[in-house]
Amino acid sequence: MTSSPATDAAASLIADLVSHGVRDLVLSPGSRSQALALAAVRLADRGLLRVHVRIDERVAGFTALGLARETGVPAAVVCTSGTAVANLLPAVMEAFHAGVPLLLLTADRPPELRGVGANQATIQPGLFGPFVRSQVDAPVPGEGDWTGLAADAVARACGAGAEHGLPGVAGPVHLNLPAREPLSGTLPDGEVVPGPAPVPVVGEPLVLERGPRTVVIAGADASPRAEEIAHEGGWPLIAEVVSGARFGRSLVHGYRTLLNDPGLGGRIERAVVLGHPTLSREVTRLLSRTDVDVVAVRRGGEALDLNGRTRSADAVAVGAGEPDRAWLGSWHSASSALAVDLTAHAPDADGLSSTDAAARRDAVRAELEAVRRPLDRELLVDAVWRATWPHDRLVFGSSRLVRVADSVLGGKKVPVHANRGLAGIDGTIATATGIAVASQAEGSPGVTRVLLGDLALLHDAGALLLPPDEPEPRLQVIVGNDGGGTIFDGLEVAGTAPAADLDRAFYTPHTVALEQLARAYGWQYLRVTTVAALDQALTTPIGGRQLIEVPLAR
């Protein structure tokens, strides 16, 4: 076998990505991308790159999104030409809005085969439009080389010199890679030295002066930095459950109620926003008020500006001075009364050991009722929250359950992820798989748990498939199955549409046997109906993939 320009260019590009810190590449097989695929697999065989193979490009895109979410390092995704490229669009849009670095390596036909009806050829340059930080239609190998593409793509994905969107914000970069046949040949030899992880571009922080009555709002992807800002400023912390900042002494419980309180929410003069808030109308109303000075730390491709006068910042820091203890204290006092406690009462030890038969019988009956306590949504989210610790990862789907969790769960410092950039239900399991693989790399401990509804599971059922030659991540998918999209029961349409139309067009009931679905894809399966059974399932060590079905009433 002889070399080919396509093979030489592909090998050089993949090696350059590794030398600039890329460690994960997701591959969807195809003929036009064969040179890129073989170059990637060769480096994987040498332990220089982790390659994850997915037959569905939409799954591949969200898997790469999960890898990049967890590591903060651009993950690459490789696909062939045609509709394969279009299937990456949902993940690209989520990465754009959430500020996640992605590298899209799409194989293509050479220019002479575009627009002439050639097989599997379409208009790929510019296909992702405004949702990429940068896009390059590379020269055909032999007429030009791909030198420098990797370095530039990694830098731009991490926020440097973006052509579209906000400078300093991570996002997707598209490299469209045309080539002529022969598309594969002998791979060139050469030393590849893995480079350090790229450092995200961060601008100078805006210093927040003390004085205004301030709250810190932590939306999706806010990170623990939001808690640090609230602690340093002595300000109340309103942290969504998907923020990764729902902990600490400044945390506010029952924030929806308190934002509606004229004596608290009505007196707010400044809101400092980290991440993307999406889970409550009360926060949206606050950030839309023109009498509130809103300072938003830039995260995704769109700057937050609901009131038309929001100040945007690359980062924030707290200025010198004394905190307003009375302001924070008033929130603490009101918050403590709204904390939700879902823990079961301790067993009646005296009653269980009593010599009085009636007292002992009552104590035993109470204990059995606690053990057999049926699950509802509140108890489900509470059980998952209690079972998850800092070495674990928790992923919320865009289902009804995430709003329940945001309403009832208390503070706990655990790493949380959710695709709230666009709050779509697509790609949840694929994203969680990428998070699990990345967080458990190099033998790291922990379990990745995914909490989602039945429709979100079915929407991403293809992501249940994993190649038999790749290590199984420790992954628990907990499905609250109420037989359809009950989130619509709480929306405006439920009050206007006829019941039959609501069921057919929105609730979309189904009769899928989740056990058979799980078994077909090689997953362990459990069905649990009580708190005790769920606690046991969540805390029993697992060695692979497990789907836990929790039946719920509509």
Find, among 283, 328, 287, the residue nearest to 311 by Cα: 287
Could you tell me where the DSSP H helices lie in 260-356?
A: 281-288, 325-336, 349-352
pLDDT band of 10, cuts 50, 70, 90: very high
The residues, ordered by sequence, that sit 6+ positions from 511 with a Cβ below 8 Å of its Cβ are none
CB 297 within 8 A of CB 279: no
CB 205 within 8 A of CB 316: yes
* Residue 421, both tokens: 């950039």
- Check pLDDT > 80 for residue 199: yes
pLDDT band of 368, cuts 50, 70, 90: low
pLDDT at 510: 92
pLDDT at 352: 67
SS3 441: helix
CA-CA distance, 249 to 384, in Å (whole number)?
22
CA-CA distance, 92 to 75, in Å (whole number)?
12
> Distance of CA 317 to CAs 229, 245, 295, 444, Å?
7, 16, 12, 32
pLDDT band of 151, cuts 50, 70, 90: very high
* Residue 182, both tokens: 């022969």
> pLDDT tens across 156-173, in order?
999 886 555 466 789 999
- Check pLDDT > 80 for residue 419: yes
Instruction: Please state the rounded mean pLDDT for residues 274-302.
Output: 96
Q: Regarding the domain delimited by 377-551, which CATH topology (the fold level of the hierarchy) does it fall under?
A: Rossmann fold (3.40.50)
pLDDT band of 522, cuts 50, 70, 90: very high
* Residue 230, both tokens: 């609230």
Helix (H) and strand (E) counts in the chain = 19, 19
CB 20 within 8 A of CB 151: yes
CB 74 within 8 A of CB 92: no
Instruction: Please state the rounded mean pLDDT for residues 504-527.
Output: 94
- Which regions of 185-309 does DSSP assign to beta strands (E)? 206-208, 214-218, 237-239, 270-274, 293-297
Instruction: Please state the rounded mean pLDDT for residues 114-126.
Output: 93
Contacts by 322-325, CB closer than 8 A, 24 or more apart: 322/210, 323/210, 323/233, 323/234, 323/235, 324/210, 324/213, 324/234, 325/234
Q: Where in the chain is the domain with CATH 3.40.50.970?
A: 5-178, 377-551
CB 537 within 8 A of CB 547: no
Q: Which amino acid is at 49?
A: L
SS3 198: coil
pLDDT at 203: 80
- Partners of 547 in the β-ladder: 477, 525
pLDDT band of 427, cuts 50, 70, 90: very high
Q: Which amino acid is at 492?
A: E
Q: Which amino acid is at 167?
A: P
For the chain, the 3-state helix, strand and coil shares in percent, each to the nearest 5, are 35, 15, 45
> How large a percentage of the chain has pLDDT more than 90?
81
> pLDDT tens across 70-83, in order?
999 999 999 999 99
Whether the ω angle into residue 347 lies within 30 degrees of 0, i.e. cis, is no
* Residue 93, both tokens: 């849009």
User: HSE on the CB side for 478, CA within 13 Å?
Assistant: 30
pLDDT at 214: 98
- Check pLDDT > 80 for residue 351: no
Calculate Rg over the CA atoms of the chain. Answer: 26
Q: In degrees, to the nearest 5, what angle opens at C-alpha 199 toward C-alphas 196 and 203? A: 165
pLDDT band of 239, cuts 50, 70, 90: very high
Q: Which amino acid is at 535?
A: D
CA-CA distance, 295 to 316, in Å (whole number)?
9
Instruction: Please state the rounded mean pLDDT for residues 110-130.
Output: 93
What does pLDDT average to over the chain? 93
pLDDT at 157: 95
CA-CA distance, 299 to 279, in Å (whole number)?
17
Q: Which amino acid is at 26?
A: V
- Partners of 418 in the β-ladder: 396
Mention the CATH class of domain 5-178. Answer: alpha beta
pLDDT at 165: 46
CB 460 within 8 A of CB 92: no
CA-CA distance, 511 to 2, in Å (whole number)?
55
CB 314 within 8 A of CB 329: no
> Distance of CA 230 to CAs 235, 248, 344, Å?
5, 9, 32
pLDDT band of 346, cuts 50, 70, 90: low
- Check pLDDT > 90 for residue 354: no
pLDDT band of 342, cuts 50, 70, 90: confident
Could you count the other beta carbons within 10 Å of the beta carbon of residue 327? 20
CB 153 within 8 A of CB 175: yes
CB 367 within 8 A of CB 347: yes
Find, among 120, 128, 117, 111, the residue nearest to 177 by Cα: 111
> pLDDT tens across 202-216, in order?
788 999 999 999 999
Q: Which amino acid is at 474?
A: R
Q: Where in the chain is the domain with CATH 3.40.50.1220?
A: 206-336
Q: What is the pTM of this model?
A: 0.94
User: Under CATH, which number does the domain 206-336 receive?
Assistant: 3.40.50.1220
CA-CA distance, 550 to 554, in Å (whole number)?
13
